Chain A
Amino acid sequence: MSEAKALHERKHIWRDEFVLIVSMIVFVGVVYALDNAIQPVFTPNALLLTGAFLSLVPAGIWLVFFYLQDRAEPEPKGFVLAIFALGALLAAAIGIPLLENVFRVSNWIYRDTLAAILGGILVVGFTQEYLKYAAVRYSIYNSDEFDEPTDGVIYATAAGLGYATVLNINFVVANGGVDLGAGVIRIAVVALAQASFAGVTGYFLGRAKFESEPIWWMPLGITLAATFNGLFHWLLGVLTRPTITLTGATSNVWMGLVLAALVAFGTTGVILWLVRQNLKALQAGK
């Protein structure tokens, strides 16, 4: 590959990320409006299948836009799909069993604020972010197809969306289906969050492959992603905590979507800025 290739910015990647965020908001709005307008009555199996289908939508949207845009220097479709599948597989085989059966996080993580933050970062954050990192680091990372720093963001986002898809399907199956309105918001929140934090790891991975970074570079990336992950879920819990009144309990799930969208916009914006700074530095040094 030529050095020149590294010094251009694949703008469509950022478009894809922003399209994913906006599409998630539109997707939630459409499903929510349809649910309110039609008020469909599902059989248990239909509810389960609908929930599982909706869980696949975020990844589907991102992949479709990615393929439509990625024409100039296309990433192999099979590889991106394989990383998505690997992220999903690691979530199902290691991530969820480790957190639910070994650490049994739901038993203690909601005890108090400190438990939510420390447990969210040290246990949930590190487990999820390391597995997403591993999905890229031990597969495509060593391949010639990983030929630009921004590929780290692409493949890590694919792994993050795979992870999110399995988290959502697991949630749907564990609850025997979900209420369409609240369920679709949760699906969008999980997808946006997992993709955003994976993007952070991906940025660090991309730089680690093509530049001589210090030994603490990649651990810093994982730690940052895990910290954002833990803090996000704590804040999500605070913002969507049910309010109990004399007329019943209400939970503002929309605040979760607002938070996830803000975090996703913020993370993507910061990574975009960092990549541009890096490109400028490379161009200056060339």
Chain B
Amino acid sequence: MTAKQHSLGDRYAEVTVILVTVVALLVGWLYKSGVENASIPFSADGVSAQAPSGWLSVSPGGDELLRTRNINSRGFGATYVVRKIAIAEGVSASEMAGVVALEHANNLTAFRMLDQREVKVNGQTAFEISYVFVEANPDVTQTQIPSVVRGTDYVFLKGGHAIVVSFQSDEKNYNADLDRFHRFLQSLRF
């Protein structure tokens, strides 16, 4: 069969296919951002924030006010933890960060501290510690290779308490998950 002559209309049709695809992907991207950034209000013991919607939240216990995890993440799901710890008078944020790091070293497999520094978050001074560990799943029937997890904790001091906000995510997804965590951190009020 003889193909019809390649016309200007064909060229337009070809461009239209590309445009329709690009528009669909752009709308898809906006929708994805909307779903990923959807949040629900969280408030406990004087600490409030906009927590991610659709994540799995565990009932708080001990000094933990919030523990929420993205169960749809690949590997170790992005996890946010907010703790409120009573501290003795005169304890500095860097000293408290040292205590938190020591706890991690005791509880987490192959824990390594990557960095620690003082930072400003929402105009408040905080001490930031960055670390890495290997996910230790106690389930012996697990056949997957353990994930390397990166974490960042922010330690704030407020009236005889330390507010410790932790972010942990699979090392492969850490950078991509960081923006979402920063939005959560910006929404934190205490």
Interface residue ranges, A against B (CB under 8 Å):
1-3, 5-6, 103-108, 110-112, 115, 118-119, 121-123, 126-127, 130, 133, 137, 146-149, 176, 208-213, 215-219, 222-223, 226
Contacts and interface: CB of A to CB of B under 8 A. Distances in A.
Interface string B1-16: 1111001011011101
Interface string B50-93: 00001000000000000000101110000000000000000000
B2 A3 contact: yes
Contact of B1 (A106, A112, A149): A149
Main secondary structure of the interface of A (DSSP, over half): helix
A1 B29 CA distance: 45
Contact of A108 (B10, B14, B19, B72): B72
B25 A123 contact: yes
Given A108-B35, A133-B17, A213-B13, A118 B28 contact: yes
Contacts of A6: 1
B13 A107 contact: no
Given A210-B4, A211-B4, A219 B20 contact: yes
A215 B16 contact: yes
Nearest to B16: A219
B6 to A, nearest CB: 8
Interface in B1-47: 1-4, 7, 9-10, 12-14, 16-17, 19-21, 24-25, 27-29, 31-32, 35-36
8 contacts: A5-B1, A103-B28, A103-B32, A104-B173, A112-B54, A122-B27, A148-B1, A209-B4
A119 B28 contact: yes
Nearest to A223: B20
Contact of B13 (A104, A118, A176, A217): A217
Nearest to A3: B1
A223 B13 CA distance: 13
Most A-side CB within 10 Å, residue of B9, B24, B73: B24
A184 B12 CA distance: 42
Interface of B: 1-4, 7, 9-10, 12-14, 16-17, 19-21, 24-25, 27-29, 31-32, 35-36, 54, 70, 72-74, 143, 173, 176
B93 to A, nearest CB: 32
A123 B17 contact: no
A126 B36 contact: no
Contacts of A212: 4, 7, 9
A226 B10 CA distance: 21
A218 B4 contact: no
A103 B32 CA distance: 8
B1 A222 contact: no
A107 B77 CA distance: 9
A149 B1 CA distance: 8
A122 B25 contact: yes
A242 to B, nearest CB: 14
A105 B176 CA distance: 13
Contact of A215 (B4, B9, B173): B9
